[in-house]
Homo-oligomer: A and B are copies of this chain.
Amino acid sequence: MRRIDLASAGFLLLEKRETPMHVGGVNLFTLPEGADEQEFLTSLRTQLRENTEFRKPFGEYVVTGKTGLYWEKDEHIDMDYHVRHSALPSPGRYRELFALASRFHTTLLDRTRPLWELHLIEGLQDRQFAVYNKVHHAAIDGVGAMHITQAMCTESPNGPPGYAPYSLEAYEAYKQSRFGNIAKTTNPSKRDMRNVLEALKQQYDSSINLATAMRRFGLAFVGRSGNLAVPWHNVPKTSINTRVSGARRFVAQTFAFDRVKEVCRGLDATVNDVVLAMCAGALRRYLLSRDELPLHSLKAMAPVSLREEGDVDSSNAIGFITADMATNIYDPEKRLRTIQESMRAGKDLLRELSPAEGALFMQLTQLPALLTSILGLGSKFPAFSTVVSNVPGPKKPLYWHGARLDGIYPASIVFDGFAMNITLVSYHDQLDFGIVACRRSLPQIQRIIDHLEDSLAELETVAGISGSAARSNNNRRSSHAAAKTRVKAKAKTRSKVKTKASPKAKAKTPSKAKPAAKTKAKRGARKSAVKPKLARK
């Protein structure tokens, strides 16, 4: 029995049927050349089910002890339950994939078992297959999930095949390859025991930095702390800040990392600033189209990692910065600058603190906001307007059992007061967005995908990047399978907010480009049967 730390236990204790607390997402792959889909997936499924040793806590389930919650080893783990094999109905577009992922993301994990599920999904077009995974937030955070993806994959299609994602084997090999000779300052098993209350006891009285930070944070409430945005302060109410029901909708999209980087260079901003500006522009468009753009700017909760270098063990090492999304500002450049300043102020505050102090500061200031939300008060007292989470992912193309990883689309949590969650992962030369929303409160989140494109195109124009330059960037992307992730489904309707003729309409065309001829020729009988249907659309 290992005690579950307080931050992780919170996700278990506050979970409700309407607000499941699992994270996960869809990983897209392309089958290795010449591989037969059914043989490949059947053999993969068998291998995954044969795994018997797990990294913690993936072989454990939750038990309630006298003094809290504990992980306890599951001696009879039912791998057929955890590793599942599903299929898409014809015609097997991304639309069908997202519909299935939406359903998977809706249901609660079984508390009597280790808190994860992994679904192999067949039936996609163009020799792709997908893996949907789902892990309780008590067991993992976004950065932790990235470590797992990286640990299961390899950097070559022909080398060793890779590992089962939650296996002990993958964990140990990864730790060795990445941090092998760096002396670890903290002992993993001790870190697992860390408890916010202990940290509080150790540090509260002694830390002068923390006291300063707390004072500055307090001043922001009364408008005397420069550009620092704080939760609850002037947060408007929109349809994003409502009570949520249990069902989810999931959509995803890839953007070329180079497009964002060029905007960064042109406007002297960080990737995170530009990503937030993309989201801010998209949210502004979305709210305008629904005729509910509020007078006050939206505030986004932007999680930041508080992990120390080399820490691949912590379940939850996240803090939050409140970003002013400047959605009330018409001019896209001014909007970007306002976001930039609020992020800078938030980061300055954190930078003055050590990681341990930072963690504590977050517990004291912003985590209560999260709890308000989870407790159902979020719709009455919104602490933020939405969540925009930017998770750094693998820098090189990855392969799993010889299959190329085409995209990593995260699916996170929504709760009362935050009916939408935008999470993105940087992977090699792309930014993969995954958006989750309450199906009832926000029925049209697929439009956000189009608004993100509009918003990026607008920033490109501001940065002086011509339409053709953007196009050429997109052309470069068209050889990557992931660029095809654009969902045409339902998103045809253009919003009324377009401020000018953007280069977007043209820039999009290349992503429709057909895959390389060689993969086409290899398609199985099923694909050809599906083909005419698609063409008829």
Q: Which residues of A contact B (CB under 8 A)?
A: 17-18, 37-38, 41, 76, 78, 80-81, 84-91, 96, 99-100, 103, 106-108, 110-113, 120, 122-123, 245-247, 439-440, 443, 524-526, 528-530, 533
Partner of A111, one of B17, B103, B526, B528: B17
Chain B residues lying within 8 Å of A99, measured Cβ to Cβ, are: 80, 84-85
CA distance A84 to B107 in the complex (A): 15
Q: Which of B106, B112, B123 contacts A87 (CB 8 A)?
A: B123
Quick one: given A78-B439, A108-B17, A245-B112, are A38 and B524 in contact (CB under 8 Å)?
no
List chain B residues, Cβ under 8 A from A100.
Answer: 86
Given contacts A87-B123, A107-B108, 17 further A-B pairs with CB under 8 A are: A17-B17, A18-B112, A41-B89, A78-B443, A81-B439, A84-B103, A85-B89, A85-B96, A86-B86, A86-B100, A87-B88, A89-B122, A90-B122, A106-B110, A107-B107, A110-B246, A526-B529
User: Shortest CB–CB separation between residue A420 and chain B, in angstroms?
Assistant: 17
Residue pairs across A and B with Cβ atoms less than 8 A apart, 21 shown, are A17-B17, A17-B108, A17-B111, A38-B90, A38-B530, A41-B89, A80-B99, A84-B99, A84-B103, A85-B89, A85-B99, A86-B87, A89-B120, A90-B122, A106-B107, A107-B108, A112-B245, A112-B246, A113-B245, A113-B247, A525-B529
Q: Are B247 and A110 in contact (CB under 8 A)?
A: yes
- Which of A84, A89, A110, A246 is the most central at the interface, judged by chain B CB atoms within 10 Å of its CB? A89
Instruction: Kindly state the separation between the CA atoms of A530 and B87 in the bound complex, as whole angstroms.
Output: 14
A107: chain B residues within 8 A (beta carbon) = 106-108
A89 close to B86 (CB less than 8 A): yes
Docked complex Cα distance between A103 and B246 (Å): 17
The count of identical subunits is 2
- Residues of B near A38 (CB, < 8 A) are 90-91, 530, 533
Q: Give the complex CA separation of A81 and B443 in angstroms.
A: 11
Which residues of the partner chain B approach A439 to less than 8 Å between Cβ atoms?
78, 81
Shortest distance between the CB of A289 and any CB in chain B (Å): 19
CB distance from A422 to the nearest CB of B (A): 22
Please, which residue of chain B has its CB at the minimum distance from the CB of A243? B112
Enumerate chain B residues within 8 angstroms of A528, measured Cβ to Cβ. Answer: 525
- Which residue of chain B is the closest to A110 with respect to CB atoms? B246
A443 partner residues in chain B, CB cutoff 8 A: 78
User: Quick one: closest B residue to A80, CB to CB?
Assistant: B99
Q: Which residues of B contact A245 (CB under 8 A)?
A: 110, 112-113
Enumerate chain B residues within 8 angstroms of A524, measured Cβ to Cβ.
529
Which B residue sits closest to A122, measured CB to CB?
A: B89
Q: Which residues of B sit under 8 angstroms from A41, Cβ to Cβ?
A: 89
Residues of B within 8 A of A110 (CB): 106, 245-247
A120-B89 Cα distance, complex, nearest whole Å: 9
Residues of B within 8 A of A86 (CB): 86-87, 89, 100
Tell me whether B247 and A81 are in contact (CB under 8 A): yes
A92 (CB) vs chain B CBs: closest residue: B87
A84 surroundings in chain B (CB, below 8 A): 99, 103
Query: Hey, which chain B residues are within 8 Å of A18, CB to CB?
Result: 112
Tell me which residues across on chain B come within 8 A of A78, comparing CB atoms.
439-440, 443
A246's nearest neighbour on chain B, judged by CB, is: B110
Chain B residue nearest in CB terms to A244: B112
CB distance from A376 to the nearest CB of B (A): 14
CA distance A99 to B84 in the complex (A): 9
- Chain B residues with Cβ below 8 Å from A85 are 89, 96, 99
